[in-house]
Amino acid sequence: MIKVLAGVWALLLGIVLIMLGNGMHFTLIGLRGGIEGFSAAELAIVTSGYFMGFLSGARLTPGLIRRVGHVRVFAALGSFMSAGLIAFPLVTEPWAWTPLRLLVGFCMSGVYVTAESWLNDSATNETRGKVLSAYMIAQTLGIIGAQGLLTLGDAATAVLFIGASILVSMSFGPILLSVSPAPVAEVARPMPLRRLFAGSPLGTVGIFLLGGVYATQSGMGAVFGTQVGMTADQVALFVAMLFAGALVLQYPVGWLSDRVDRRKLIFSAALFGAAACVLGWLDVGGIWPLMGAAFLAGGVTTPLYALFLAYTNDYLSTEDMPAASGGLVFTFGLGAILGPLATGWAMQGIGPFAFWLVLGATFGAIALYALYRMTQRAAVPVEQTESYLGVLPTASPVAVEAAGAWAAEQGETEREGEEPSSPTTNAGDKP
């Protein structure tokens, strides 16, 4: 593993710095929006703007890379993103923040596509699983660490926004000064949604609903914390707990994924997430039950994303996996745009604890649909399923396609009775 990391350490360091800046800005939007008196519905629109930009960036960046190259695209998007982060405290109005969030989302998605292209090119078939796992861990640690940095300043000033911009600007140094030119980013054209649904109804519907869950957690979590009276430090901890759970639950879910019917595991994980949301919604008193609910509900979200990818690939040929990956990323993005809007309007009309109500209802819908699908089609035998690899919802189609190709190769290797080249179910190798 050390030899693998030695070749990609600069990329991983850059990703950690990017995630520190981006993670700070996500929570800052909720904190500063509360200080400025923005409503939950207004902040929901601002949140959705980010995911609209993210979805657009994932579709358009490969074309930009083919035209002008990785380095120019990476540097340009980084500059625009850094400028956007500084601009937030200059005009504190929802109508100004929404296009800024769209810009930041577009740039962030493009940065992912570019960095993941470099990362994928630097890996071999034998090391790709470990490289992707290290990449996902770097992203998660960056998001969690960003919440700690928020305690060093006041969201009512421009200091934290400037700090986030500085971190993003610094991130490009180790990447641009160390990586060699990568081949042109090739992302398969997304599979049409009708064909994707025909191949895997549960994967398509489930990942759409999960997009709403993830975007609500990451974008509206700080809004909820602010509206229920948490301090800035408590809001930062609350958001950190939403992501920290994934580090703990990713491995056990991945281990089970390669050993049981994945539909049953999807049902159980979604039901677990719904129960965690009930804990948060009941408001039994004190801050720690809310932290526990965030840890558990956020903890199953990321593993569910990887589960849906793996489950969908189980029903596809190897040739269809790249196009299906693009379709799933697009479907997830649609859910991520709509989820915060529904949550914001619910919080506006019912109150801040509608945050948990909408999350719980969405988890419940995933569980019920998984239960229904178990009655409609026989399960794929466990020994014929593709290998599971933890993939974060923030990954671009480049990483999702690479993970799918690796999983297919590993599954084929295991079915032939050979030793897998890069384990996904051993402790320490999974994010």
The pLDDT score that the predictor gives to residue 1 is 60
Average pLDDT, integer, range 70-85: 87
Domains of the chain, first to last: 2-415 (1.20.1250.20)
Q: If you ran DSSP here, which 8-state letter would residue 188 be given?
A: P
- pLDDT-based confidence at residue 426 (cuts at 50, 70, 90): very low
- pLDDT-based confidence at residue 260 (cuts at 50, 70, 90): confident
The answer to whether 147 and 27 are in contact (CB under 8 A) is yes
The pLDDT score that the predictor gives to residue 411 is 65
Q: What does the alpha-carbon distance between residue 246 and residue 239 come to, in Å, rounded to a whole number? A: 12
Other Cβ atoms within 10 Å of 25 Cβ, number: 27
Of 41-50, 60-69, 123-132, 224-233, the one with minimum mean pLDDT is 123-132
Tell me the whole-structure pTM to 2 decimals: 0.90
The pLDDT score that the predictor gives to residue 179 is 58
b/e burial code for range 195-210 (CB count within 10 A of at least 16 → b)? ebbebbbbbbbbbbbb
Residue 182 has pLDDT above 60, yes or no: no
Average pLDDT, integer, range 92-96: 93
- pLDDT-based confidence at residue 423 (cuts at 50, 70, 90): very low
Q: Mean pLDDT across the chain, nearest whole number? A: 86
The answer to whether 118 and 182 are in contact (CB under 8 A) is yes
* Spatial CA neighbour of 311 closest among 324, 326, 298: 324
The pLDDT score that the predictor gives to residue 171 is 85
Residue 424 has pLDDT above 50, yes or no: no
Report the share of the chain in percent with pLDDT over 70.
90
Taking CB atoms within 8 Å and a gap of at least 24, the contacts of 62-70 are: 62/113, 62/184, 62/185, 62/186, 62/187, 64/110, 65/113, 65/114, 65/117, 65/184, 65/185, 66/184, 66/185, 69/181, 70/114, 70/117, 70/118, 70/181, 70/182, 70/185
- pLDDT-based confidence at residue 419 (cuts at 50, 70, 90): very low
The pLDDT score that the predictor gives to residue 180 is 58
The pLDDT score that the predictor gives to residue 188 is 62
What's the residue count for the chain? 431
Average pLDDT, integer, range 273-278: 96
Average pLDDT, integer, range 43-52: 95
Residue 185 has pLDDT above 60, yes or no: no
Residue 416 has pLDDT above 70, yes or no: no
